[in-house]
Amino acid sequence: MRKRIVIIHGSYGNSTENWFPWLARQVRALGHEAILPDFPTPEHQTLKNWLRVFDSEIGKLTPNVVLIGHSLGVAFILRILELTKQPIAGSFLVSAFLGRLGLPDFDKVNADFVTKPVNWKRVRAAAGIVRVYNGDNDPYVPLSKGREIAKGLGVDLTVIKGGGHINAAAGYTQFPELLQDLKGLRLV
């Protein structure tokens, strides 16, 4: 079945950075759809505004959707999954966190997404196959944040040694481990 792969960036980010375009090319070459929406950030960065963009560009979730989020994109995916009753194929959460990071420029714009408790039972029921990846030396997100999300979802955390924030600044313009997991789980 053809999958819809949705790649969601984080705060101060966009769809053309990091490993996002590379992954989109890879999944398209395998015959799947890749969608890379751009969300308003940092200005107008609210959960309501991001949901509006998601509804406009992606629409309703279906069983053939795979959500991939980076940084704040992870918290956004968790909020989306709380709102749906339709299970999806998979959720891949990279540089995952909830809660404040102690970084004023980020904490202010992220608050709407990360400070409210998560309904883990509802999220897990909708998330499909789940993988969580965090770097062991992330300058923004403590490894403990990734562990909390993995625990909430009942999955193991994949620790990327020396991965930093798993972004271009850490050398991640490609993310072969993620692509390999997508292939190995037959999601692409």
b/e 28-63 (16+ beta carbons within 10 angstroms → b) = eeeebebebbebebeeebebeebeeebeeebeebee
pLDDT at site 80: 98
The whole-number pLDDT of residue 64 equals 97
Enumerate the β-bridge partners of residue 160. 135
Q: Which two tokens stand for residue 88?
A: 């999806």
The dihedral region occupied by 66, where left means phi > 0, alpha psi between -120 and 50, and beta the remainder, is: beta
How many domains are contained in the chain?
1
Query: In terms of DSSP H, where are the helices of the chain?
Result: 20-29, 47-57, 72-83, 104-114, 120-127, 143-153, 176-184
Each residue of 98-135: pLDDT tens digit? 999 999 999 999 999 999 999 999 999 999 999 999 99
Give residue-wise pLDDT tens across range 148-179. Answer: 999 999 999 999 999 999 999 999 999 999 99
* pLDDT value at residue 126: 98
Residue 180's domain comprises 4-184
Give the domain CATH number at 178. Answer: 3.40.50.1820
CA dist 74 and 159 (Å) reads 16
Q: What is the pLDDT of residue 1?
A: 84
Which tokens sit at 129?
A: 């196959």
Question: pLDDT exceeding 70 applies to what percent of the chain?
Answer: 100
Rounded mean pLDDT, 81-101: 97
List beta partners, residue 5.
Answer: 34, 66
Model pTM above 0.95: yes
Average pLDDT over residues 25-42: 97
CB of 23 closer than 8 Å to CB of 7:
yes
pLDDT at 163: 98
Token pair for residue 125?
């029921």
The answer to whether the beta carbons of residues 177 and 133 sit under 8 Å apart is yes
